[in-house]
Each structure stands twice: as C-alpha cells, then as structure tokens.
A and B are shown apart, each in its own frame.
Chain A
C-alpha cells in the first residue's frame, strides 16, 4: 500500500515537472488581449506551441519583463529608449488599434454623441458633470440628452490604454496636463476604477449615464455606444478600421529608438485622434525565450492579419514588418 502510494507520488512529481519550457509566457497590456489570445489559440492548433498571454495591464507587462518573470511583456505605452537600455530590453510594435470613449446613455447609439477634445477633457476632470450641460448640448443639437449626473469610469490598474488616452488629453488640454498629466496610471480627479479594459467595459455596461474609454474591440464586441470625436483638423470622425489606419499612415517609425512613438492627435482629416500601437518587450539576456517569442510574432505577422482585421485592429504595414524582422536579426535573434 505504502509502496503504491509512493510510486504514485513519484509519478505525479515527474508528470508535473516534465514539460518544462513547452509554454511561452507573456503578460501585459489588455488592449491587444483579444487579438493575441486569438493568435495564440490558432498558433497552438497549427504548431502545437502554447503561448500563454495574460492580460494584466501594460504597467505589469513592463514590470514583469524587467524582472524577467515572463518570457515577453506587452505594453501599449512605448518604453523610452533610455529605459529600454537600462533594463536590457528590446521593443517592437505588433498591432495598431484605437482607444474609444464609450457611453451608456439611454437612447444614444454608436457614433451619435459628438465630443470635442476640450469638452471631453472637462468631463474627465469633473468640471462638466451633467449630460445636459450647455457645452455638451452645443455640440449635439439634435440629441436628447438627459439631465443626469455623469459617472466617469477609468482604469484602476497600470494601463497602456490609459497612457494613450491621457497622452491625448494632455496634448489637447492644458487644464488636464496640470490636474492629472499623462501616464499609465494617473491621479484621477473623479470617477470609479475598473480593472483592465474588461473591468471598464463591465462598469460602463452596468452603470447608467457613465462614460469610459476602452480599446475599440472591447466596445464593439460588447455593443457599447462609442463617441464621435473632433480631430486635429476639426473634422468629426467615428472610430473605425479606416480612421485608425489613417492615423497610423503618417507615422515615422525609428528602429534605433526601439520604435518609440505615439500615434495620438495624428494629422489628417480622416484620422482617429486616439490611436495607438501595442508593443512587445523582450529581454536581451534571455535569447532562447526571446527567439520563441519572435517565432510567434513572425508567424502572426504572416498569418494573423485576417483575424486582427476581424477584431478591428490594424495590422502593421508590410514595410514596417520587414523593418522589424531586420531589427530582430540585428539583435541576434
């Protein structure tokens, strides 16, 4: 009996340590989670290699790869070249998307509510706190806006989506810059915090007369009403594949800087003002893991465009993909 128990134990121990290294672990931004997990699912089906991507927020992505607790990190806020150097990291973009404000107001559908950058900043500052505030009504003459209090929903965790969104608000509003500034998590003047894009989506869905901001795929998949925004050229644009693509069109990516670049407030009449790329971070001193990671992204660059488009992400342009492949080679991967 005892022998049997021991051999069972030994077997279990063996079993539970046998497959070391067969899973590639990544963590970070929740912004690209739908597309990365979709790719991972397909990748496992095609090649049998498992890529476990956990959506824990961009701040976490940078932290975990800096501490080498994961094989690759992901962040929607590009890491500055200085910090990349200090932490021994490589960085490249993998997908482009857009952050969209979403609202839950009875009777208002997608793309119906129009906001300018200034008015949106004032809402998130708490200066405008009713939906029928004259400033909001002025931009939306045709809409019936309720006399209800606005509830702001923001992220509670370190988030690249927040970084993109606050970067935008900082660029367009002096008041915002003074009150909160830009960053992965900021000192929010008002509102409640949800964890991840998922948490914000969930709260906006549940709380009436709320406004939040999420990656577009989250808004679309959950049928939440997104807001039409006035861009740099003064034109109102709706969030869409085309407006994200237009925002990314003029981007100048620079390899030497580890592709450090923001896409917010981009020029062009058709450009969505809050677009952003999602970046992958690799550890220079873990070449084996990094090689596995680029193998996955190389596969995704070749096979993942269709799935990305279906989820309303913009795949990287061909030239950029080639450039990134060179970047990998240069760094010995």
Chain B
C-alpha cells in the first residue's frame, strides 16, 4: 500500500468518525424529544390546565396552580432581572469601555453565568427566606432574577457594542446629551439583539428547578399571592416524577412536554431573529 493510499484511508476513517459523532448528537436530541413527546402528548387534556391538584389517588387533578405559579414567578423575575441587566450592560458598553472595572465586571458576569443554580438557591435562602421567615414566590423570583441578570447584561453589552459609533456621533452633533443618545439612538439600534437576549434569558430560567426548591418551595393550591410559598411547574415535575403514583407520572410527563415545547420554541425563535437581523 502506498503512503498516499494509507493517508487517504486514515482521512476517510477520521472524517467518518466526525460524522458519527454528529449523528450521535442528533440521535440524543431526537431520542429525548421523541420520548417527551410520546409520553407527554397523551396526557395533554383540558383538565391539566383547568384543574388544581387533587390528593394522590383522587381522579381529575390538574396543574393549573403550577402553570400560574410558574408564570408569576417568571414574570417577577423578568421584572427585576431585565431592567437591571440592560442598565448594567449599558454601563459596560457605553461608559465602562476603558476603565479596568468595566472589563472586570464583564468577566465576572461571564463567570456568574456559570455559578451553579442550586448555589443561588442556598444564597437566597440565607439572605431572604430565613430573615423574612417563610418561603415565598418573591424569593423564587429573586433567585431566578439573579440567574438572569448576568445573561441579559452580557447580551446587552455585546449588542450595544455592535451599534456603530458614527450613529452616536451624528446624534451628538445635533446637541443631544449622552443619556438621550443612549435611550433614543443606541437602544433603538440594538433593540432586536437585546430582545433576543431577553427571550433566551427567559428560556434559560423557565426550566430552572434547583434554585426554586428552597425559595418559592411548593404549594398544593393555586395562589396569586407572591408572598406565599408558590407552586412552579418544574418543582412540581420533580415532586411528581419522584412520586409513586402513575397519574403523577403522567402529569409530570405532560408538564415536561409543555415546558420543553415552550423553551425550545423560545430558543428557536431567538435564533431565527438573530439570523434574520444579522445576516447583513
């Protein structure tokens, strides 16, 4: 066998391995999604969305309480996390370009994105739940907001940095103060990007379970009082999946299906927007 033939064989072999790896990645994705779909779709019934939890063994329970709880917790997390994230990102991109502090905070937020979410849960327990004396929806929202802030902050920073400097200069030339330039020109230019970042940040927190275990806790009943322990879809899935009852497992699958669909939908939407906007 010639040297060239040997090299060709090795080449083909190595490249086939790469294709196999790609196929494996795709295989897992399809396996997991198909499994969630297969188990979940049969149990998507009107009752699931309309009824509250029934005690184990009793027919006709639903997850309305968990859906609403999840929405409320996420809503308040967004309410806290997004403005703070956007403002922080604005500072880093606009005012903090040069000072070392800006770069330092930017790096720090990158690291904070990777802090284990359960650690954030223990932190919120220590500084919020314990002093106040009870679990609450607010505590859960706070934990999720803390997870969200660095994500939104970094995307905002990057998106604002993409806005060409000349646009700002044009506005300065008209005599506009810096804050107005940012509010009316820079934000407008970066709006799509920031919006996408927000979508992805929501997708990120919507599936979080660990930080809610010790903060928003859980509730068997529907409550709209954020100051009470509040049910969430994810914690309910954990409780129901770990439980022994078949109807609990069914509801856990159905809830998994809904939450997966929601998160993947948001993620895909985010990708599409980015592609459409930044395709030149």
Contact = CB atoms under 8 A, between A and B. Distances in A.
Nearest to A39: B55
Interface in A35-51: 37-38, 40-41, 44, 50
A16 B56 contact: no
A168 B245 CA distance: 28
Contact of B220 (A18, A53, A70, A197): A53
A37 B244 contact: no
Contacts of A52: 219-221, 228-229
B244 A198 contact: yes
B228 A25 contact: yes
A141 B134 CA distance: 55
Nearest to A197: B244
B129 A218 contact: no
A15 interface: yes
B218 interface: yes
A16 B225 contact: yes
Nearest to B222: A50
Interface in B194-232: 217-221, 223-229
B116 interface: no
Q: How large is the interface on B (under 10, 10 to 19, 20 to 34, 35 or more residues)?
A: 20 to 34
Contacts of B130: 67, 69
B244 A222 contact: yes
A202 B242 contact: yes
Contacts of A44: 221
Contacts of B134: 25, 68-70
B227 A17 contact: yes
A221 interface: yes
Contacts of B227: 16-17, 20
A18 B127 CA distance: 24
B72 interface: yes
B236 to A, nearest CB: 11
B72 A16 contact: yes
A26 to B, nearest CB: 10
Nearest to B220: A52
Nearest to A33: B56
A63 to B, nearest CB: 11
B133 interface: yes
Interface string A1-25: 0000000000010011111101101
Contacts of A111: none
Interface string A200-228: 01100100000000000010011000000
A195 interface: yes
Contact of B224 (A15, A40, A196): A15
Interface string A69-111: 1100000000000000000000000000000000000000000
Interface centre among B54, B56, B224 (most CB of A within 10 A): B56
A73 to B, nearest CB: 13
A237 B57 CA distance: 27
A44 B146 CA distance: 35
A69 B129 contact: yes
Contacts of A198: 239, 242-244
Contacts of B42: none
In the A-B complex, list the 10 residue pairs whose CB atoms are closest, starting with the nearest. Answer: A201-B244, A198-B243, A37-B55, A16-B226, A38-B55, A50-B221, A41-B55, A19-B225, A222-B244, A52-B219
6 contacts: A15-B224, A22-B225, A25-B219, A38-B58, A41-B55, A69-B129
Interface of A: 12, 15-20, 22-23, 25, 27, 33-34, 37-38, 40-41, 44, 50, 52-54, 67-70, 194-199, 201-202, 205, 218, 221-222
Interface of B: 54-58, 72, 75, 129-130, 133-135, 137, 217-221, 223-229, 239, 242-245
Given A52-B220, A52-B228, A194-B242, 4 more contacts: A25-B219, A34-B57, A202-B242, A218-B244
